[in-house]
């Protein structure tokens, strides 16, 4: 029997406490060695809570979902920069992994990252969701069999992300992303979604249909999912 729980929270602080408790339990039980991390505004209060906690990640290897192609870790818009700022600079991990946005050979970088993932099976993967139901940068229409690959970002995603860039010209329109199959290999998934803009995606997840047009719906095929949301 699959485990699929939906936890309704009043706000992101409450969600952060629940996430902290879950991680603490798994760290104590020695079942959290590899943690899959996500970026986006959804994750900021979660990481803040983890930074303030006494949780020890020094024996945990981290893998991020995705990275913009063309952005160096020193670029404030890169996900490598985001992770340093919100988590890694404050909490030591055993090792952290993010696709190299400056890699020249894109196919080789995808293969390298997927091999690393195969060698370090994810115990828990955090996920946010895009307004169009994308997970990581797996946009609608991405095959459920996909592994780490180069994704072309949709206009919808570019529009949402443009708020973070000073100059629209600077927004990368491609990214490295774990594939849907890479994500589905995680033993447990914790999906976080807040705010009305995410309602269509959460309704798709809680509805009956599983379709590549709504990447998030693949989670209905996963054996262990926790959804934490303020959407009722």
Catalytic residues: 66, 132, 134, 139
Residue 99 or 130: which CB sits closer to ligand GLP? 130
**Subset of residues 98 to 157 that bind ligand GLP, contact rule: CB under 6 A:** 128-130, 136-137, 157
Helix (H, G, I), strand (E, B) or coil at 172: coil
| 178 scored as a contact of ligand GLP (CB under 6 A) | no
Question: What are the Cα distances from residue 186, in Å, to 96, 182, 196?
Answer: 17, 7, 28
Q: Which of 11, 13, 41, 143 binds ligand GLP (CB under 6 A)?
A: 41
| 64 scored as a contact of ligand GLP (CB under 6 A) | no
Minimal distance, residue 121 CB to ligand GLP, in Å: 20
| 39 scored as a contact of ligand GLP (CB under 6 A) | yes
> Under rule CB under 6 A, how many of the chain's residues touch ligand GLP?
13
Minimal distance, residue 95 CB to ligand GLP, in Å: 21
Helix (H, G, I), strand (E, B) or coil at 131: coil
Q: Quick one: CA torsion of 176, 101, 65, 165, rounded to 10 degrees?
A: -100
DSSP conformational letter for 154? P
Q: Quick one: CA torsion of 34, 36, 42, 47, rounded to 10 degrees?
A: 30
Minimal distance, residue 214 CB to ligand GLP, in Å: 14
Nearest to 134 by CA among 76, 204, 221: 204
Chain contacts with ligand GLP (rule: CB under 6 A): 38-42, 65-66, 128-130, 136-137, 157
């Amino acid at each position: 029997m699959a485990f699929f729980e939906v936890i309704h929270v009043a706000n992101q602080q409450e969600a952060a406490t629940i996430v902290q408790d879950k991680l603490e339990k798994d760290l104590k039980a020695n079942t959290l060695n590899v943690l899959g991390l996500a970026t986006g505004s959804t994750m900021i209060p979660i990481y803040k809570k983890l930074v303030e906690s006494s949780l020890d990640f020094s024996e945990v290897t981290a893998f991020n979902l995705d990275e913009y192609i063309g952005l160096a870790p020193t670029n404030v818009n890169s996900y490598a920069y985001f992770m340093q700022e919100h988590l890694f600079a404050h909490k030591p991990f055993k090792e952290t992994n993010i696709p190299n946005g400056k890699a020249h050979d894109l196919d080789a970088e995808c293969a390298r990252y997927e091999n690393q993932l195969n060698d370090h099976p994810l115990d828990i993967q955090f996920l946010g969701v895009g307004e169009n139901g994308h997970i990581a940068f797996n946009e609608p229409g991405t095959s459920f069999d996909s592994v780490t690959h180069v994704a072309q970002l949709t206009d919808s995603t570019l529009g949402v992300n443009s708020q973070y860039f000073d100059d629209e010209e600077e927004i990368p329109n491609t990214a490295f992303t774990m594939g849907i199959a890479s994500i589905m290999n995680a033993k447990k998934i914790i999906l976080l979604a807040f705010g009305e803009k995410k309602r269509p995606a959460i309704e798709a997840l809680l509805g009956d249909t599983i379709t590549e047009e709504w990447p998030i719906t693949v989670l209905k095929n996963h054996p262990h999912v926790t959804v934490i949301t303020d959407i009722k």
